[in-house]
Structure 1
Amino acid sequence: MRRLWRRPSGWQVLWLTVVWTALWGHLSLGVVVSGAVVGTLVLVLLPLPSTSLGFRVHPVGLVAFLGGLLWDLARSSLRISWWALRPGPPPDTAIVTVELRSSSETMLMLTTMALSAQPGSLVVDARPGTGRMTLHVLGAGDEPQATAQRDVSRQEALVVGAFGTRTDKEELG
């Protein structure tokens, strides 16, 4: 027999209580209690279907990912600033295709977003079926393919460390 109701998550009730309190515009015991009651009723009477988002959040990996992302943002911003201000010809550019090790579409999307946020690189195409990503790279250097593959693999490892499932981590090796 199918259960008609499911016990609401404490995090969901807490979130709905915070939203309720924000909507009322002031903090009082009555607003908080009524928010918790309304939030619980909403979750019991209108339950959401259970879904798997295809990722898990790992706090230590998340800190490493954010630290690596901030470092990459700062480093690439300084490089772009230097190239813009220095005299001489513009830096070399290249279009390269790299292979991702993870087959997860979620990891592909998160890696694509992290790479696109960095100045000097742009994801031109990302293919979930093949795990290939095509990038436009500014300041490509002598071996743009090897450099791009190394940078993408490093970013993918940080993303999988922060959000990957067990299967994603196994695919990285």
Structure 2
Amino acid sequence: MMTRLLMILWLSAVWVLLWGDLSPGNALAGILLASLLVLLFPPGSERHSGVHPVAVIRFGLWFAKALVISNLSVAREVVRPKIQLEEGIVAVPLRACSPLVAAFVANAITLTPGTLTVDVRPQAFGKIGTEPPAGHLQVRNGVAVPPVLYVHCLKVGDPEQVRADGLALEKYVVNAFGSPEDRQAILQPPPIWPPLENPSGREGSPA
């Protein structure tokens, strides 16, 4: 019950933030829509998940800090006489397999100014039935089980830092809402991710 309530609150907050309207009518619409989604697609229906109040508070504080830092960074770019953006798309492979965790991470990234999750997909390595190189994501029938988020950044900088920030966010989400399997998964080393090939040498949009 607590998991469903927190999911409704989170989805309602996402609805209000995306619309940019905190009016009672819009908030009520978000709550009704979130309740319907949770009713149709209950969290934890396939994998046991739990809510850990202390970890939820830590996640909230960490995310609030990330929002402040991101807002200041975007504001600094806006007030500069000449805006210097380094836009790009970075692949962020997660370690946990839970769709709930992926949804939390993807939405949290989108709510952070300067970043936007543009795609979520599995990643295949080589031929079907082959094992990936050591350190890569686990493969089942040629498809990686944990999802890969493709994140658009206004200022990429170091793609590895973007991935590290994504994995840090995943850790907070898993500790707050993840299943025992998810918490075990994030103990694994970060996945090795080969850079996408493109003429500029930077990561780009997935094909």
TM-score normalized with structure 1 length:
0.66
Residue 91 of structure 2 aligns to a residue whose secondary structure is strand
Q: How many residues align?
A: 123
C-alpha separation between the residues in 1 aligned to 2:150 and 2:116?
9
Q: Deviations over 1:40-69 (max 9, x none)?
A: xxxxxxxxxx98445311011101100011
Q: Deviations over 1:48-99 (max 9, x none)?
A: xx98445311011101100011000111001111100011233211111121
Give every structure 1 segment of 4 or more consecutive aligned residues whose post-TM-superposition deviation is greater than 4 Å: none
The alpha carbon displacement at 1:127 in A equals 1.9
Instruction: Report the more deviating stretch, 156-165 or 81-90.
Output: 81-90
Q: Which amino acid aligns with 1:165?
A: S
Q: Map 1:45-84 to 2 at 5 A.
A: 52-53=44-45, 54=47, 55-84=49-78
Q: Which amino acid aligns with 1:149?
A: R
Q: Which amino acid aligns with 2:86?
A: D
**Contiguous gaps of at least 5 residues in structure 2:** 2-41, 123-144, 188-207
Q: Is residue 171–residue 186 contact of structure 2 (8 Å, CA) maintained in 1?
A: yes
CA-atom RMSD in angstroms: 1.9
Percent identity of paired positions between Structure 1 and Structure 2: 28
Q: State the partner residue of 2:147.
A: 131
Q: Map 1:23-172 to 2 at 5 A.
A: 52-53=44-45, 54=47, 55-127=49-121, 130-141=146-157, 143=158, 145-172=159-186
C-alpha separation between the residues in 2 aligned to 1:118 and 1:160?
18
Q: Deviations over 1:119-168 (max 9, x none)?
A: 00000001265511101011211x2x201110100100010011011111
Q: Which amino acid aligns with 1:157?
A: K
TM-score normalized with structure 2 length:
0.56
C-alpha separation between the residues in 2 aligned to 1:69 and 1:104?
20
**Contiguous gaps of at least 5 residues in structure 1:** 1-8, 10-49
C-alpha separation between the residues in 1 aligned to 2:104 and 2:182?
13
Larger radius of gyration: 1
Structure in which a larger fraction of residues adopt helix: 1
Q: Which amino acid aligns with 2:53?
A: P
